[in-house]
Structure 1
Amino acid sequence: MHCLYKSLMAAAITGLLTGTAAADQAETKGNLEITSEDGNFSASLGGRIHFDTYLFDNDLEDAISTTEFRRARITLKGNIYDWSYVLEQDFAGGSTLNGFRDVYLAHTFLNGEVRIGQFKPFRSMAEMTSSNELTMLERPFSSATGLYDGNQFQQGIGWTGVLDCFTLGMMAFNLRDAATPRNEGVGAAGRLSWAPINTDHETLHLGTSISYENANQNSSDLLAEADYAGRRGPSQLMALTPGDLGGDVATAALELAGSYGPLYLQGEYAIGSFEGDYYLSEAGFEDEFGAPAPFFCDPQFGCFIGDQTIHTWYIQGSWMLTGEHKTYSKKRGAFSSAKPSGDGLWGGAWELTFRYDTMENRDFEHLQASSTIIGLNFYANRNVRFMLNYTMGDDDFTGDGTDQLGLRAQIGW
C-alpha cells in the first residue's frame, strides 16, 4: 500500500509538470507552481527540513543525547475552480496517515475561508505560529506540546478570517487525527486576536482563546504534559482525564505580544480544567506521574484523582542584533520570522532569544515544572536558518533538573 500511495502521488505530480506544460503556465519564484491556462487549476510544491541535535546534561533522569529529523515535509497546495486544497505529508512523523499534517479543502466565505478536513484548532498564539517561524526550537507549554498534549491536528470543520484589524478562527472537531483510532469524542475551539497597531516598525497584539474537549468511546486520554528539558528529554505529566471515562477538558487563554523595531516580546496565560473522579493505585500513580502521591491514598481503593486545574504561562522575546524587524501575519494572528537584509554567511541576520515557561497543577502539591531558555538564531537567507537553544529544566515534583543543548539546521521553501 505504501508503494502504491507513493507511486500515485509521484504520478500526479509528474502529470502536473508534464501533461499540462504545453498550454499551462509555470512559475518558479520562491517555489514551483503550475497554473492551467484558464486559471481553474493550480498546484504549488513546498516543503521544509528541520534537522536537530540534542545534547543533555542529565540529573535524576537518563535522557539520551541524539540527532533526528524533527520535520521533513512536502506540501502540495493549490486551487480547483473556486475551491482550494492543502495536502501536507511529514515523513519524519511516519508514512501515509501517520505523517498527515494539514490535509483539507477550503472555500472562500465572509472575508475568510471555510476548511473541511484535518488542521489545527484555533487556540494559542504559539500554536498558530508556523514551525518555520518559531523563535525557539519548540513551542511553549500553552500549546500541543503541553496543555493540549498530542492534539495538534484534529479532523473537523472550521472558519478563519480577517475582519479589519481582528483575526477570528472557529472549529468543531473529532478527538482524532488521521493516524489515531476512530472515536466518538468531540471538541470545539475558538480564537480572537486584535492588532490595534501594526506598522512596518511596530505591532501590538492582544488575543484570547477557548477550547472544550469531551472524550467518548475509543477516545485517547486527555493529557497536559511538560517537556521541561526540551524535546526527547524527560517530561512531567501534569493532568490526566482518561478517555474511556467520558470526561471533559476546558481551557481559556489570554495573549499579549508586541514588537518595536528589532525588539519583540510575547506572552500567554492559560488555565485548563481537567475532569477527574477516578482512582489510581499508589504504584499506578507513581508510574503515571513519576513520583509518589503528595496526598493520602486509601489502602483499599488507592489514590483518588478529582478535578484538576492547570495554570501555565510563558514570556519570550528576542532582539534582532542586525536590526531587522519581526513581521506580523494578520491571517494567522501571530508573528513571523524576521527577513534578513543580506545573504551569505556574514550577510544574514542574528537574533538573540529567551523564554521562561512554567506549568502547574493547582490540586497536587509541588506538581510544577518550568524551563528557562536562552538562544541564538542565524538567518543565512530567507529560507535557511540555524538555531541554538540552551534549556535549563526544573521539575519540582521529582526534583529533576536536566538541561539540554539543542541545535537545528532548517530550510523551508
Structure 2
Amino acid sequence: MPIRFACFVGLSLAVAGWFASQCTAQEFSEATQESEFADTTVPPEPGAADPWLEIGALRNRLDQLESANATRKAADATKKAVDAKKPTVKWSGELQADQYWFNQDEANKAQFGDVENGSDFRRARIAMFGDYGPSEYRLEMDFAQSGRPTFLDVWAGFKDIPGLGRIRVGHFFEPFSLERLTSNRFQTYMERSQVDQAFAPARNLGVGATNTVGEEEVGTWAIGLFNNNSNAYGDATGDRFAGVVTGRVTWLPWFNDRGDEFLHLGFASSYRHTGTGFVQFQAESEARLGANTPNVPFFINTGKIAARTYQLFGWEAALVKGPFSLQSEVTLTPVESTYDGGLLFYGWYVDASYFLTGEHRVYRKEFGVFDRVEPARPFLKFADTDGVEFGPGAWQVATRLSQVDLNSGAIQGGRQTDLTVGLNWYLDPYTRVYFNYVHAMIDQPVDGSSTCDSLAMRFSFDF
C-alpha cells in the first residue's frame, strides 16, 4: 500500500502540472472594460509525452515491483521454514592475557626454587552452541590449556523435560561448588580460590540432570554420574571402576524484585571411586601462569594416597546487598586410606567485594550461579548521535582470605593461607581489566614456614 499510494500522488501531481501548462488566460479587453474569459483549448506542444501513456507505464512498473516483493517474501518464508528444521548455531569466544610478577622469601625459594615472572594466555577459547527444539548442544575448545586444544564443555542434551528440566551427556562440570560452577568470565578474581583447586572436581565425562524448584525458581537441584579420570579430551581407560556420583542443591531464602539483594545457600556432595587405587590433593597459590612450564609450584601436596574411595562435602553461601557482596564456602574431604586409615582434609574461603560505581553482582536462578555484570555507564560506547560517549565503566574492589589444610594422620601435605586483594575495571559487559595481589603463607610440618607474593594483571574479552 505505501508504494501504490506514493505512485498515485506522484502521478496526480504530474497530470495536474501538464494540464496547467496547456491553459492560458485571455488578455483583458480594454474596449468593453468587462472581465471575460475565453474557453480556449491549447493543443499539446510538439514532442510532449502523452500523460496517459506515462501513467500506464508507471502502473506496469508498480505491478512488477509488487510481484518481486511478494516473491522475496515467499522465499524468506520458505527459508525460515527450512531453517526451523535444522539445529541453530551460535558462537562464543574468550581471550585472557596475563602478566605476573613474583617475590619469594629465602625459605620459599630454597624449598620450591625460583618462581619466575611471566606472561601467558590464560584462556583462548572458541565455542559453538545451539538447539533444535528441546535438544541443545555445546562444543567448546581452549587453545591455551595443555591439550592445545583442550576439550571443555562438549555435550548434548535435552531441556524443558517435565520433572527433570535438563539432561546432558558428555564432558562438563560436575555439580559441585558455587565458585566452580560460576563461569570464569564472571569470577571476581583472576583465579578461583585454592579450595577449588585442591578439592572441587573439574569437567568429567558423564550424564547429569538439573532443574529449578518452584515457579519463582527459589532453588535448584542437580545430580550426575561421571567417570573420575577423564583427561583433557574427555577420554578415560582402565579396568578398575572409577565411577562418581555428585549432587548439589541450592536455595534462595531471599531475593528482591530488582535482583540486587538476595541470599544464596547451597550444599553439594560427591562419592568417588579413585579407579587408579590412589588419590592426590595439591594446590598452588591463587596464581597461575596458564599452561607454562615451569609454572607456579604446588606449595602444598599430599602426594599419592593409597585409597579406593573418598568423599567431598561442600557448603556454600553468598549475600548480595546492592554493590556489596559476601561469599564463602567450606569443603571437607574424608578419605579412607588403604594403609593410613581414616583421613580428613579441609579448606575454606571468605570473599567480600564492593562496586564503587554502584553496580551489583548478577545471579542466574536457572543454575544457582553468578552471571555477567552490566556497567551502568560503559567506558566507551557509540552515542545516539554521531561519535562516541565516555563513561567510568564499573569499578570493583575485593578481598579474599582462604586456607587449605592437607595435614591429617600420617599424611603431612602442608597448610596454606592466602590473602588476595583485587581491583576490577569493567569497561563494558564483555571487556575487563583485573589487578590482583596474592600473599601466600605456606606452613610445611618438615620444612617450616615461607611466603610468596604475586602481583598480576589481566586483560579479558569474551562474547
TM range (shorter): 0.7 to 0.9
- 1:273 deviates by 1.1
Counterpart residue number, 1:409 = 459
* 8 Å Cα contact 1:239/1:274 also seen in 2: no
Counterpart residue number, 2:21 = none
Counterpart residue number, 1:147 = 199
Task: Work out which of the residue numbers 337, 341, 347 in structure 2 matches 1:276.
Answer: 337
Task: Work out which of the residue numbers 210, 226, 241 in structure 1 matches 2:283.
Answer: 226
Counterpart residue number, 1:131 = 184
Question: How far does the alpha carbon of each residue in 1:244-279 deviate from its partner, in whole angstroms, 9 at most, with x for none?
Answer: x5521201111111100100010011100123234x
Q: 1:379 is matched by which residue type in structure 2?
A: Y
Counterpart residue number, 2:157 = 106
Counterpart residue number, 1:310 = 345
- More divergent stretch after superposition (224-233 vs 335-344): 224-233
After superposition, where does 1:126-275 map in structure 2 within 5 Å? 126-143=179-196, 145-148=197-200, 151-164=201-214, 165-177=218-230, 178=233, 181-183=236-238, 184-199=241-256, 200=258, 201-216=260-275, 219=276, 221-228=278-285, 230-231=287-288, 232-240=295-303, 242=305, 247-275=308-336
After superposition, where does 1:37-76 map in structure 2 within 5 Å? 37-38=83-84, 40-59=86-105, 60-61=108-109, 62-76=114-128
Which secondary structure does the structure 2 equivalent of 1:400 belong to? strand
Q: Distance in 2 between matches of 1:132 and 1:335?
A: 10
Question: How far does the alpha carbon of each residue in 1:309-354 deviate from its partner, in whole angstroms, 9 at most, with x for none?
Answer: 1111000021000000111111221222421011226431000011
* 8 Å Cα contact 1:124/1:142 also seen in 2: no
Q: Distance in 2 between matches of 1:361 and 1:91?
A: 32
Q: Which runs of 5+ in 2 are unaligned?
A: 1-74, 289-294, 381-390
* 8 Å Cα contact 1:238/1:360 also seen in 2: no
Q: Distance in 2 between matches of 1:56 and 1:132?
A: 24
Counterpart residue number, 1:333 = 368
- 1:22 deviates by 10
* Cα 1:83–1:366 shift into 2, 3 Å: closer
* 8 Å Cα contact 2:189/2:436 also seen in 1: yes
Q: Distance in 2 between matches of 1:182 and 1:366?
A: 28
Task: Work out which of the residue numbers 63, 76, 79 in structure 1 matches 2:131.
Answer: 79
Q: 1:207 is matched by which residue type in structure 2?
A: G
Q: 1:335 is matched by which residue type in structure 2?
A: F
Which secondary structure does the structure 1 equivalent of 2:185 belong to? helix
- 1:93 deviates by 1.7
* 8 Å Cα contact 2:443/2:450 also seen in 1: yes
- 1:226 deviates by 2.0
* 8 Å Cα contact 1:89/1:101 also seen in 2: yes
Q: Which runs of 5+ in 1 are unaligned?
A: 1-19, 26-34, 279-304
- Is it true that 1:356 corresponds to 2:406 in the alignment? no
Q: Distance in 2 between matches of 1:363 and 1:36?
A: 62
* 8 Å Cα contact 2:279/2:304 also seen in 1: yes
* 8 Å Cα contact 2:307/2:338 also seen in 1: no
* Cα 1:239–1:24 shift into 2, 3 Å: farther
Which secondary structure does the structure 1 equivalent of 2:191 belong to? coil
Question: How far does the alpha carbon of each residue in 1:51-83 deviate from its partner, in whole angstroms, 9 at most, with x for none?
Answer: 111110122232111111111110100123431
* Cα 1:330–1:241 shift into 2, 3 Å: farther
- More divergent stretch after superposition (383-392 vs 132-141): 132-141
Q: Distance in 1 between matches of 2:361 and 2:193?
A: 19
- 1:176 deviates by 2.6
Q: Distance in 1 between matches of 2:277 and 2:378?
A: 47
Counterpart residue number, 1:343 = 378
Q: Distance in 2 between matches of 1:106 and 1:77?
A: 12
Q: TM-score, normalised by structure 2?
A: 0.71
- 1:220 deviates by 8.2
* 8 Å Cα contact 1:273/1:310 also seen in 2: yes
- More divergent stretch after superposition (110-119 vs 222-231): 222-231
- Is it true that 1:376 corresponds to 2:431 in the alignment? no
Q: Distance in 1 between matches of 2:234 and 2:225?
A: 19
* 8 Å Cα contact 1:137/1:389 also seen in 2: yes
* Cα 1:81–1:331 shift into 2, 3 Å: closer
Q: Distance in 2 between matches of 1:248 and 1:322?
A: 48
- How many residues get paired? 351
- 1:111 deviates by 5.5
* Cα 1:366–1:155 shift into 2, 3 Å: closer
Q: Distance in 2 between matches of 1:67 and 1:367?
A: 28
* 8 Å Cα contact 1:367/1:396 also seen in 2: yes
Q: 1:136 is matched by which residue type in structure 2?
A: Y
Question: How far does the alpha carbon of each residue in 1:145-202 deviate from its partner, in whole angstroms, 9 at most, with x for none?
Answer: 1214xx4110010001111211111110012322554133111100000012123220
Which secondary structure does the structure 2 equivalent of 1:253 belong to? strand
Q: Distance in 2 between matches of 1:75 and 1:366?
A: 38
* Cα 1:348–1:221 shift into 2, 3 Å: farther
Q: Distance in 2 between matches of 1:21 and 1:277?
A: 67
Which entry has the higher C-alpha Rg, 1 or 2? 2
- More divergent stretch after superposition (165-174 vs 75-84): 75-84
Which secondary structure does the structure 1 equivalent of 2:359 belong to? coil
- More divergent stretch after superposition (179-188 vs 245-254): 179-188
Q: TM-score, normalised by structure 1?
A: 0.79
